[in-house]
């Protein structure tokens, strides 16, 4: 089996693959203050929870957008499993033609998501990652990653409303029954959920106008299910897209 770890700003997602088959997915809170032994213990607990042994793994790969945390989890894997994981970054073969101004600036999560989408879905393709930030990656009909969009994440936007205003409260991220809110909390929820969904619909239209053709739309990320179901556009929902991309990248390098 192959261990895949996606270190995000809010959550760290751990997955295990046997070939192309996903064995388990688990999520941890991302905390750069934790030491490598703590992460080793957490990984070991996850393996026990899903009834797999550390000896079942033959390799591991990490994609990280939190560089200070990467060495801790890398060393945790070495201590626990005796495996040196691959790290997605310069020198790693992705098989993806990255046609942006500075390919080295492309985040590991975006690279892995684009690799999975280009492998699994019809092209051209727009990939939305609905996490701490709302990100879109655009893959053209030749399978090249040509650019994207980054906007504040839906949770960040809600938190900013509560902390940067005197009278707006913290609210849960859920859709109200109607778009037109009749109280402050429903108005905030509507703006966050329906507003983000409308932004995604609008971005799809504008991106397709630039591409000059219709695109497949895929969405992933921690806020996938809260947002995607309210989009007017048909969207393929895949909450393990980044892990699948990491697994593909591992196979291409080993």
Specify which residues 62 forms β-bridges with.
Answer: 5, 87
Give residue for tokens 């906007």.
151
Nearest to 113 by CA among 23, 219, 9, 208: 219
Run of H or E residues at 18: strand 11-18
Whole-angstrom Cα distance, residue 228 to residue 131? 12
Strands 11-18 and 21-29: antiparallel
Q: Is 1 helix (H, G, I), strand (E, B) or coil?
A: coil
Run of H or E residues at 60: strand 59-64
What's phi and psi for 139, nearest 5 deg? -115, 125
User: From the candidates 6, 109, 129, 140, which is the catalytic residue?
Assistant: 109
Among this protein's residues, is 140 annotated catalytic?
Answer: no
User: Catalytic amino acids?
Assistant: 109
């Amino acid at each position: 089996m192959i261990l895949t770890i996606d270190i995000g700003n809010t959550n760290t997602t751990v997955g295990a693959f046997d070939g192309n088959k996903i064995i388990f997915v688990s999520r941890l809170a991302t905390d750069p203050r934790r030491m490598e032994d703590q992460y080793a213990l957490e990984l070991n607990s996850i393996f026990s929870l899903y009834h797999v042994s550390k000896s079942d793994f033959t390799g591991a790969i990490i994609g990280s957008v939190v560089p200070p945390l990467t060495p801790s989890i890398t060393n945790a894997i070495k201590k626990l499993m005796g495996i040196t994981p691959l790290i997605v970054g310069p020198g790693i073969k992705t098989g993806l033609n990255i046609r942006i101004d500075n390919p080295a600036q492309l985040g590991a999560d975006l690279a892995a998501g684009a690799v999975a989408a280009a492998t699994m879905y019809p092209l051209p393709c727009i990939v939305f990652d609905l996490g701490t930030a709302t990100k879109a990656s655009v893959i053209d009909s030749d399978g090249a990653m040509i650019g994207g969009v980054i906007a504040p994440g839906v949770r960040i936007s809600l938190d900013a409303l509560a902390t940067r205003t005197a009278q707006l409260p913290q609210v849960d991220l859920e859709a109200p029954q109607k778009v037109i809110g009749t109280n402050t909390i429903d108005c905030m929820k509507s703006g966050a959920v329906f507003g983000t969904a409308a932004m995604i619909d609008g971005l799809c239209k504008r991106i397709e106008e630039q591409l000059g053709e219709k695109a497949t739309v895929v969405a992933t990320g921690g806020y996938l299910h809260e947002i995607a179901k309210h989009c007017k556009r048909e969207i393929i929902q895949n909450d393990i897209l980044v892990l699948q991309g990491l697994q593909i990248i591992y196979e291409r390098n080993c």
